[in-house]
Structure 1
Amino acid sequence: MMGKLLDLAGERFGRLLIVDRALTKNKATRWSYICDCGSRGEANTRDLRHCGQQSCGCLQREAAARTGRANVSHGHSRQGRRSRTYSSWCAMKERVLQENHIAFSRYGGRGISICDRWLEGSSGRSGFECFLEDMGERPDGMSIDRIDTNGHYEPGNCRWATVITQNRNSNSNKLNSADVDRMRSTAANETVSYSRLASDFGVSKAHAHRVVRGDRWAA
């Protein structure tokens, strides 16, 4: 039985009132909105439901005006387009905080947390600003890695690393049968890239492809 089609029309996210579904872009479902400030625009489902988008950008501009800064996200997220660094920050929060996330059992489900500085912010700066200040821009071909794999997402325990480095660092890089089932089910029922599967489950893109194809299951 197919699940009920997601419909956010009529729902409110902060200052944003969702009007209707917009054209899908880069395989992401998008929604047309009207902001309380009068602006119209589009946002994707992840930014609205998981990354906390609350306005067309007017909230950030108002905050910047109060603090004298140009943009609290430093241009990393505007009009639904996100930088690699901002995408990593959002994906980190999803793995840890969203119980329905396919990889939750490997992160939030086993007690991994995110420091308040990267979630709530500090000294008038947003959580993302603090994350960017501590981690710097995400280099091409790398993703966030916890040095102590049983430790939390926080300054001093995180770095940008290649998949090879992350797999060498992992003390639990074998997928169990439940992980394999979730990966294959997700690949079969959702439009999701192998890069996203690899990131969510902490394996290489090539290995995610082999698991989905049924060639092997131990990471």
Structure 2
Amino acid sequence: MPDKKMARHVTHGLTGKRVYKTWESMKARCYNPNDGKYEKYGGRGIKVCEEWLGKDGARNFAKWAYENGFDENKHQKEQSIDRIDVNGNYEPNNCRFTDAKIQANNRTNTIFLEYQGKTKCLQEWADEVGISESTIRWRLNNGYSAEKALTTEVKKNSNAGKRYLTYKGETKTVSEWAKHLGFDPKVLYSRIKRGWSTERALETPTGADKWHKTK
């Protein structure tokens, strides 16, 4: 006799619909050892409630899904089933439909941070304070307190993308050297791009190189 948990029934009229695929994927994660996600679900003891299994399982699940906002027209990333308690089973009182961002916040490895009496995951704090989640995570990993990680202003690197040249022990940006020598910055940038040494680029008078024409 086939296992009712994995049995397929095609008399419910749902085959081919996204809600049916969601139901099948949910069961596979919990009961099929060959499923790529089994280890994180069935392997941890996560089960599907009896109401959503067996002969009427697909129909019961679809009825609950549609009554709780399931949209056939949405993509998996826009809406998928999520367990409120990540250690609980798939059952009506512990499931909801959310987007990928909320699901990511609800993973077992999500880091939560308490600050000023509120506890939120890092992504939620990032959204609130306007600092990227990766920056907050780096700060915490490097010994920052919760307050410092969430309130320290992110410094803007005004030197990003600038090219520096060192000549006779002095370091300046290409633009600064051009201003200092009375050159057009484009001339210096072109010389450096063509592989000229710093000395040649700075010491050659404007117009002395064949590729540059003076007006």
Which category of TM-score, normalised to the shorter sequence, fits these structures?
Answer: 0.3 to 0.5
Q: Which has the higher contact order (CA 8 A, sep 6+)?
A: 1
**Which structure is larger by alpha-carbon Rg, 1 or 2?**
2
- TM (norm. structure 1) is 0.42
